[in-house]
Chain A
């Protein structure tokens, strides 16, 4: 058995030992993972899906397509000169010397922040993923668009390594073609070497019965910069653990989240940022717009370790409840073991601002349209830092379609 297989076996044993998360785990207090138990039993056959007409983001990009967790080379388009391959391909061809590095991607330990059984299960059972390695000083000249299409269970594990001063933009998009119950379990592990810069968007638009479990792990070296945009529109249950380690000085991260939910959708993001080195920055901005009986959970934990002087950390979470049955559980957590830091956090829960509403109405905007306008603006603000306007417009359009809207304000998207 090679090293990779050993790690995967260990991960399986770990999962068998700990099982699914349960409500006794503080990090899973609001999200009922027992709902996932039945889904694990689903055993589907691997069907081909043609991605034409599925509502992709229309991007000039390198494209990796995963159908039910398997790389589909025919529907993908990748640059020749850059090291982007499918994990399954890599695994089958890896030399003994390189297997050590690859094995690391499958290593799971119970000591990791926000550890849970599902991440071990992912390492044990992932069928494929993207393996991306950008050389030092290289700039990926187009965004990498990773499209995940599913109509059944799929387990994906991506590993991306950006060499020193490398730059890239990665967009992960999740859609499904069926309305059946199924589980997506996706891990994205990222390493940013010195001075590397990555903008990473994750757009979850799976079907109404789907459950989506994700973990994004980021290890940041000196002066690296990471920007995350997590957009949650689909699925019935969606949980993301976002774990960032600012491990060397000067590293910075910006974590943005937008949930637009209705019906009985349940979306939970737990973020954990560890400041272990001085002069690092973490800025977090999460917004939710909740209609129907939807339920959102945001837990943002920032740990400033002893050596992390001059830490600059700010967190804000705004929540707009459109229905009296919608629910938000928001909890910022700050643990600070250093005196020389600047940390701020704030959360708001509420309805639209009366002063803004009146101002718009006094200019001739109807009450209904003023409400819709402010709701959209509230959601859209979190996308302001997204550099890719094509992706932003796509998300705006999809989010807008989920928000209450009358004909009159459709022109808003054309601005």
Chain B
């Protein structure tokens, strides 16, 4: 797999250092902000048509991000009542922390004990473009599939750096 971007990860004792190529910085910023905006119920909405369009888009995205936890609709609804807002709030906060950590030069220094933020945001941002069953491919000519594939690739790079032993056993 060849990706034109750079996403290099160094794991320290208490910090994770990530170096992004400069052309990846605006991509990550834009898409992470889009993810945060999409799950932010409080964001200002304009006209009725815009609101309806946004609500429909938001509902579809939320279904991809957090699919039903039960095949029995009443139980799924109860789960959403108990956990839905918590899950959305957590992802929203993680997206904003990731966004704030991206330096203009592509350097990121992130606490190791909070690096789950990055793992989650990289994985979930893919849902902006594709259904859960569609495999991302960074070499695809379809921009949506390609975008998702780049995020899969970054998440894989991060996990491989954090847990090289795991990447090996899974591949074996």
A and B: interacting chains: no
